Amino acid sequence: MHIDIAGNVINSIAMECIDGSIERHRFSSGVRYILRSYSDGSEVHVIGKNNMIFIEIWDMNKYAFPLVVLKYRASSMDVLSAVYTACYAHELLQGKISEEHAEALI
């Protein structure tokens, strides 16, 4: 179940906010999808493991660790809400949203 949800999440992020290529890595207890942006050096990793979904946002040009990690229980997550949150965090980290605009949205 978490594998299907992770796939839906990464595909939705790719359709909504990040133009890039997707890789899939399967392992014994789950899956990791990596969406590499064509334009800004960022990556979004979606990991499905043990009924959990993790969304990591990386800036590979600057840091060797994820800047944002979102955690959801696969059985109760709202995919669209998770996608919106991930896209918002990505745009904020890339400087596409001003601090004033970010404060107004909170």
Helix (H), strand (E) at residue 36: strand 30-37
The share of the chain scoring above pLDDT 90, in percent, equals 63
Range of the domain at 76: 2-105
Residue closest to 83 by CA, chosen among 1, 32, 10: 10
- 16-31 per-position pLDDT tens digit: 999 999 999 999 889 9
State the pLDDT confidence band at 1, using cuts at 50, 70 and 90: low
Apex CA 46: angle with CA 61 and CA 7, to 5°?
A: 130
pTM across the whole model: 0.86
pLDDT at position 48 over 70:
yes
Per the structure, the count of domains in the chain is 1
Residue closest to 32 by CA, chosen among 72, 2, 12: 2
Residue 35: strand, helix, or coil:
strand
